[in-house]
């Protein structure tokens, strides 16, 4: 075998090792890299609630789109089975129910705190509000558990499944024994976004409630 061919094989072998190493990165390492390097993102999601015992579906499949810019700016849009919008501009959270033509406004403040939204939309200081730990490999994903430190959180645990440094699934385990499963697709990191995109425009004729 010629010297050039040996070098080529060595280079290819090194490349394979590098790819394998990246694929085997721990969930915690992948997640920290994601948080540090992802200032904004957009994509699509599905969401469904599961029974604790039988792990069977208990609610219709919801689906929609999301876009976020850290910290605290996001648009989470449900399109099926009914339309609902959750939007935050960094100061306030707006919840719009299209069927009722009703907007509920809440101060964002520390509302994200230990909520699942903080995982994707909050600040980079997640370990302030969550205890993070490895949760092994399942369904081809590396899993991470995030347990809220706040005692009044409605969630006991949030599990995040990652592949190649990107969240592909979240499992939200609440205090009532229910688990909501979210799956993400078409996850685009750091798209060009402007603050103006997150400014909420009240739909015509909508009733507004400040909470």
Structural domains of the chain ordered from first start: 24-210 (2.50.20.10)
Number of Cβ within 10 Å of residue 109's Cβ equals 11
Q: What is the pLDDT of residue 58?
A: 67
β-partners of residue 159 are: 145, 171
Q: What is the pLDDT of residue 95?
A: 93
Q: How far apart are the C-alpha atoms of 161 and 206, rounded to whole Å?
A: 38
For the chain, what percent of residues have pLDDT higher than 90? 55
User: Which structure tokens are listed for 200?
Assistant: 């909420």
- Contact in structure between 116 and 130 (CB atoms under 8 Å): no
Listed as ranges, residues in the chain with pLDDT below 50 are: 1-23
Q: What is the pLDDT of residue 18?
A: 33
Q: Is 114 helix (H, G, I), strand (E, B) or coil?
A: coil
Q: How far apart are the C-alpha atoms of 69 and 40, rounded to whole Å?
A: 4
Q: What is the pLDDT of residue 171?
A: 94
- Contact in structure between 101 and 108 (CB atoms under 8 Å): no
Q: What is the pLDDT of residue 176?
A: 83
């Amino acid at each position: 075998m010629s010297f050039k061919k040996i070098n080529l094989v060595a280079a290819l072998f090194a490349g394979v090792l590098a790819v394998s190493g990246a694929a085997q990165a721990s969930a915690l390492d992948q997640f920290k890299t994601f948080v540090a390097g992802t200032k904004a993102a957009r994509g699509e999601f599905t969401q469904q609630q599961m029974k604790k015992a039988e792990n069977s579906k208990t609610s219709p499949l919801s689906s929609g789109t999301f876009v976020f810019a850290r910290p605290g700016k996001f648009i989470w849009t449900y399109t099926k089975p009914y339309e609902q919008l959750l939007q935050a501009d960094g100061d306030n959270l707006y919840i719009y129910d299209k069927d009722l033509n009703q907007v509920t406004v809440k101060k964002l403040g520390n509302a994200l705190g230990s909520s699942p939204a903080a995982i994707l939309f909050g600040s980079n200081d997640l370990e302030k509000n969550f205890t993070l730990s490895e949760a092994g490999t399942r369904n081809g994903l590396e899993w991470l558990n995030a347990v809220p430190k706040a005692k009044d959180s409605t969630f006991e645990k949030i599990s995040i499944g990652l592949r190649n440094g990107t969240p592909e699934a979240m499992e939200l385990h609440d205090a009532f024994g229910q688990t909501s499963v979210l799956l993400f697709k078409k996850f685009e990191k750091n798209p060009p976004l402007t603050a103006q995109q997150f400014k909420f425009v009240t739909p015509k004729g909508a009733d507004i409630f400040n909470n």
